[in-house]
Every structure is written in C-alpha cells, then in structure tokens.
Amino acid sequence: MKTIGLIGGMSWESSAEYYRIINQETQRRLGGSSSARLVLISVDFSSIEAMQQLGDWDRAAAAMAQAGTQAEAAGADFLLLCTNTMHRVAAAVSEAVSIPLLHIADVTANAIKQAGVDEVGLLGTRYTMEQEFYRDRLEQLGLTVNIPDEPGRTRIHDIIFDELVKGVISAESREIYLSIARDLIAGGSRGLIGGCTEIELLITRDDVGVPFFPTAELHALAAVDRALSD
C-alpha cells in the first residue's frame, strides 16, 4: 500500500471528508480493520484565504509547495491538494517535490467522460469558476464547461466562505445552489461539477436531475485506487 499525502485544511471541513472517504474505501476493499497509510499536512485556512483575497498567488504557491515538501519528507508516495481552488498553484507544488501530484481536475474529467457527459456546469469559488486554471484544464480534456451568470457566481462564492467552510449547512443556501444548478441545466449543461470540496456537504447526487460530480469524493476514491495499485 502506498502512502497518500494530503495537503488539507482548506477547509478542514472538507479535509475531514477526504480522511473519512479514503479510510472507509480502503477498509471496504481490503476488509477487516484495514485503514489507509497517509500523511496529512493541514494549513491554517485563514492565512490562505487572505492570500486568495489579495490575489497573492505567489505566496500561496510557496505555502502549498512547503506543505508538499513536508508531506514528501514524512513519507508520502504521491500528493493530493484537498481543494479545487488551490490547484491554481498546482504546478508550483509539482515542481517542489519529486513525487506525483494527483490533479483533481483530471480525476473529475475522467469521471465525467466515463458518465458519457460532454457539457457540464461548474459550481465553485469565484476563483475556480472565473479563472482559467481549472476550466481550461477541463476543456483541454474535451469538455464544454459552463458557469453561472452574475449574481449567481457571487452567491455561490459567498455561501462557501460565509457558511460551508465553517460547517454551516442551511436549507436556504441549498435551495439557492439548486436554483442556480437548474439554470445551468436549462442552458444546456448535462452534468454538474461540485467544483469546491465543500459543496458536497450541501448538495448531493440525489438533489439534482443530472449526473453530479462531487470532486472531493472523486479525488479521495482516486487516491485509494493509486494507493492500492501495484
């Protein structure tokens, strides 16, 4: 079994889901009292959030690269950034370590293609929805990616930072997300990406009428695949 390296804390709410999913799936596959071999480097999200707001991606990249080198030094065989937004600096992390980085967008694109979907709506932080680093990677893999109009993007973003990263789950916010999702579906999206690892704390596959791709779950399951591969 390979050792999984997790760079988490962004937020700890979703990082806890990574830990749960990885260990539950490992036990399901191996049986008995099996659990995963992993290293978790958890950062202080308040400092990372401040860097995001300032657009200081160089400093954010340095923080993620440092976390990656710590995970490698602790014995990780490969890395996961347990966040969609911070894949904005994925290249800097890869350059800082000698072990592979399992990119969340690649895992997500693979699941979408396996589902036979080619046009998807993307829900996430403003950075993930509006900047090119995430959408471009999906589009280069053959997908058409749609994002909400304003003010939908602002509402999606604000609920993530004001509620979900703090563990606040409300029926009102769920309905806001589902209303925006319905607009994306009406506009031609044949599937929906939960492109922030906290989003699947609020909505699930059962809430939408098209295939839903929860990125934290997909990423965690792909980590187990790699950890248990020869």
Give per-residue burial for 166-185: e unless 16+ CB within 10 Å, then b: eeeeeeebeebbbebbbebb
What is the separation, in whole angstroms, between the first and last Cα of the chain? 8
Where are any strands of DSSP class E within the chain? 4-8, 38-42, 78-81, 119-123, 144-146, 191-194, 212-214
CB 143 within 8 A of CB 177: no
CB 84 within 8 A of CB 108: no
Residue 154 CA to residue 139 CA, distance in Å, equals 23
**Cα-based angle 164, 165, 169 (whole degrees, multiple of 5):** 25
Out of 82, 85, 108, 196, pick the active-site residue: 196
Out of 83, 125, 128, 197, pick the active-site residue: 83
Q: Is 196 an annotated catalytic residue?
A: yes
Q: How many Cα atoms sit within 13 Å of 160 on the Cβ side? A: 27
Is 7 exposed, middle or buried, given 0-12, 13-18 or 19+ CB atoms closer than 10 A?
Answer: buried
Q: Is 82 an annotated catalytic residue?
A: no
Neighbours of 111 (CB within 10 A): 21
| Residues contacting 172, CB < 8 A, separation 6+ | none
Catalytic residue numbers read 83, 196
